Structure 1
C-alpha cells in the first residue's frame, strides 16, 4: 500500500490580481483584501493540505519587459506575501504558510527577527520559500546584479546567518524563574559576529528560542547549483520534473545525494513535485481538450509568448516566431528552470520559437501517464502509482488561491485520496514540522 502523500498548494500568481483574465473575476473578490485568501486557505486546511507556498517577485522586471509583465497581470503587480501570512495564520489552526523571501531584499538580522516573530505568532507553522531572483537586486542597493550561481552563494550566506541568529539563544538561556527574578541569563547568549562577502551583522537576536523547531526552509530551483542548495539547506524542495517514474526517481536521487554530501540524510528533506492538473468530469471530456490543444492558433501562441516573456524577463514577442531563439537572448539572471520549461526536449538551437510555445500549449492525458488532464480518479491513480514506484513524498498543486480554483481541483480528488488511505484526514496542530517532517 502506498504511504500517505503530503499535499501542498503553490500560489503561483503570488499576492496579485486573482481572478484577472478568468471568468470567476465576477465573483467580485478584492484581491487586495485578506478575505479572499482567508476563505481559500480554510478550504485548503479542510482538505488536509499541509503547506501553502506563496510565490513572489519584488520587482516588476526589467525596463524592456515591464509593460509585458503588468499589461495582463502575468508578473505584477504583487503585494508582499510576508505581510499576508498573519491573516492566513489567524484564519486557520494547522496549515503551514511559506511566503517567498528574497535574500537581496531583507538583511539577515531583520529577516531572522521578523521570521522568528511569525513563527511564534503562528504556533510554529511558518515556512520560508528562499528564492534567488537576481533581477530584483537593483531595488535594494547599488551593487551590480549577481549571476545565477553567485546568487545562490549569497542565499547560502544569508540563510546560514539567519540560522546562526536563531540559534544565538541556547535552550538554557531563557530562565524565566519567578522566584529569582531572572528572565534571561545573558551570559549564555551567543554574540554572533558575521563578516561575509555579502552581509555583515552582529547578534545575538532580540527574540526568544523556538519551542517546536525553526521555520521550515523551502526552495525551488532545478539547476545543479539549485539542487545542491536544496540538498544542503532545505527542508522542502519545490520540484519540477516530468511526471514520469524514471525522471522523478532521478530527481529525488540527486537531491538525496546532495543532502548526504552535506552531512544530512535523505529523510531530512521532503521533495514535493509541483503539478497543475486539469480535472474534468469524464475521460471523453479529457480527450476532447487534448485534441483541441494539438494545434494552437496564433492568438494562443502570442498569449503564451507574453506570459513566457514575463517569466523569463525577456521580450519573446519581439523575436521571429518561425526562427530559433538567437544565442545570448537570455541574460545570466534568467532562471535556468524557466528556460528549461520553455525548451523542453527540443534542441533550442534549431527549433523555431513557435514550436516551443506550441509545446507549452499542448495538453496530455493523465490516464496514459503523459500529462495532467483527466478525471479525479485518474489523477488519484497516478499519485498512488508514483508513490509506489518512486517512494514519492507528495505534490504541490499549482494554482490561484481562489475558492473556485480550490474547489475545482480538490472537491472530487480529496475524498478519493482519503478513501484510499493516501491522504490524511486531519492535520497535526503541533506545527508545520510535525506535519511535514514528523518531528
Structure 2
C-alpha cells in the first residue's frame, strides 16, 4: 500500500565550490555567499522535503594528498556548515537543517550552548550529523588520533555531555512571571558536573530549555561500533546499502536491533537510504546512457580514481591499474565503510584496480535494479517499492546548486505527490515533529 515517506537532500560537496567542473558554473553563483544555498533550500521546502544534511570534513587531508583533494575541488576547500545553517533557517520556515559536526572540534559546553542557540533561533529545526573522522585530529591538539572504536566512545561521551547540559534546566526552572518579576528559579538548576574519560566540565548551561525537544541527531556509521552508536543515539540513520528487498530488510533489522539493545524502540530511528538518481526524459535515453558507460575509457577511470582518492585520502592514481590494491595502502583513519564502498563486491586481494574503478564508472537501470538511471516515473516506482518493504524514506545525494536541485525535482515532485508518497504539508513543532508525523 502506498504511504508517505520522508525525503531529505544530502549536500554531498559540503559548503564548497558548487558548480565547479560542471556547465552550471556559468550561472555565476558565488559558492562562498548564502544566496545559492538559500535558493535551493526554498525549493526543497516547496517540494515538501523534511531536511537537508550538509556534509563536511574540517581537514584538507594528509599532507601527501592535499593537492589531490583540492586540485579539482573534490575534497576541499570547505567552509563551516554550522555557520551556513542560520542563513538556510532564515530562508525557510519548515525545512530541517543538519550540519555535520565532529566531536573532536567542539568542547561540550561550547557545543551545547551554540547548538541550543541555533535550535531556538530556527524554531526547533536543527539537527547534528555526528561523525568521528579521526584524520582531522592534528588540527585540534597534539594528542595522537584515536582508533576507530575509541573515536565512537568519545562521540558517545560527547553527546551524553551535551544532553546533560541541555537538561541542566528543568522545565520548572524557567518561570517568566512578569507579575512576580521572577524570570527563572536558580534552585531548580542542575550543576551538571562531568568528569569523564575524554571531557571534563561544570554546568549548568547558560541557555534556556527547549520548547519542542533537543536537536535531532543523525549518524552515518556502518561498522558494528557505528551501528551501535546509532542504536543508542541517533534519530536519523544515513544508510548505504544495495536497494534490493533482502538488503533493505537486513539493514533495517540491524539498526532496529541496535536500538532495542540500548533500550530504545525501533521506530525511534528514521532510516534514510542515500540515492543519487540520474533522471532522464525517456526510457530510450536511459538505455543509451547505460550502454555508453559499459566500457569506460582511461579518462573516465582516472576521474573516478581522483574522486575516490579524495574520499579515501589515498592517492589511487599512483597505483598500478592492472594490479590489485596492495595490502596496507589505506591508513588506519580511513573508514571501513569508505573502503567497502570502493571495493564493492569484488575480492580486494585479487581484483585489479582497473576493474574496481570500471564498476564505479558503469551506470545501471532503475527498471532492473542495477542502478539509478531512468525516468522520473521509474524512480517513483522504485521509491514506492521501497515503501512497500517498510522503508522510512530516501536521501537524495548531490550538490545543492539550484540547477542540480531542479534537474532532479522538477518532474519528480508532482509524480510523487500524485502517488501519495511525498508530503504536501508540514507538522507544527519543528524537525523532530515532522519526523514523527508518519
Q: What band does the TM-score fall into relative to the shorter chain?
A: over 0.9
Check conservation: 1:230, 1:237, Cα contact below 8 A. Answer: yes
More displaced 10-residue stretch of structure 1: 111-120 or 144-153: 144-153
Q: Secondary structure at the match of 2:104?
A: coil
Please say if residues 175 and 184 of structure 1, whose CA atoms lie closer than 8 Å, have aligned partners that are also in contact: yes
Q: In structure 2, how many angstroms separate the alpha carbons of the residues matched to 1:426 and 1:409? A: 21
Structure 2 match to 1:32:
32
What's the counterpart of residue 426 of structure 2? 427
- Corresponding residue of 2:313: 313
Structure 2 counterpart of 1:58: 58
Structure 1 position 437 matched with structure 2 position 436: yes
Partner of 1:398 in structure 2? 397
Aligned pairs for 1:354-393 (under 5 A) are: 354-388=354-388, 390-393=389-392
Q: What CA distance in whole angstroms lies between the structure 2 residues aligned with 1:127 and 1:237?
A: 12
Name the counterpart of 1:333.
Answer: 333
Matches of residues 92-241 of structure 1 in structure 2 within 5 Å?
Answer: 92-241=92-241
Q: CA deviation at 1:2?
A: 2.2
2:267 aligns with 267
Moved more, 239-248 or 421-430: 421-430
Contact 1:243 1:371 in 2 (8 A): no
Whether the 8 Å CA contact 2:102–2:131 is kept in 1: the answer is: yes
SS in 2 for 1:255: helix
Find the aligned partners of 1:300 and 1:223 in 2 and give their Cα distance: 30
Deviations 1:14-62 (A, max 9, x none): 0000000001000000000100000010000000011000000000000
How many Å separate the matches in 2 of 1:88 and 1:401? Answer: 12
Q: Deviations over 1:352-394 (max 9, x none)?
A: 1111111111110001122110000000001001110x21000
Contact persistence 2:427–2:437 (CA under 8 A): no
TM-score (norm 1): 0.99
The alpha-carbon deviation at position 328 of structure 1 amounts to 1.1
* Separation in 2, partners of 1:173, 1:364: 58
Distance 1:401 1:204 in 2: 38
Residue pair 1:363, 1:371 contacting (<8 A) in 2 also: yes
How far apart are the structure 2 equivalents of 1:147 and 1:62?
17
> What residue in structure 2 maps to residue 48 of structure 1?
48
Structure 1 residue 279: Cα displacement: 0.2
Large movers: runs of 4+ above 6 Å = none
Range with greater deviation from structure 2 (187-196 or 263-272): 187-196
The residue aligned with 2:76 is: 76
Instruction: Tell me what 2:251 maps to.
Output: 251
* CA distance, structure 2, for counterparts of residue 404 and residue 261 of structure 1: 44
Other-structure match for 1:12: 12
Aligned-residue offset at 1:233: 0.4
Alignment partners' CA distance in 1, 2:371 and 2:232:
31
CA contact (8 A) 2:2 2:419 kept: no
C-alpha deviations, 1:134-172, integer Å up to 9, x for none? 101110111111111111111111111011111111111
Q: 3-state DSSP class of the match of 1:271?
A: strand
Shift of 1:227: 1.0
Rounded to whole Å, the distance in 2 between the matches of 1:339 and 1:170 is: 45
Kept in 2: contact 1:17–1:77 (CA 8 A): yes
Structure 2 Cα separation of the partners of residues 173 and 31 of structure 1: 43
Contact 2:127 2:216 in 1 (8 A): yes
* Alpha-carbon separation, structure 1, partners of 2:193 and 2:230: 25
Superposition RMSD on alpha carbons, in Å?
0.9
The CA distance in 2 between the partners of 1:72 and 1:18, in whole Å, is 12
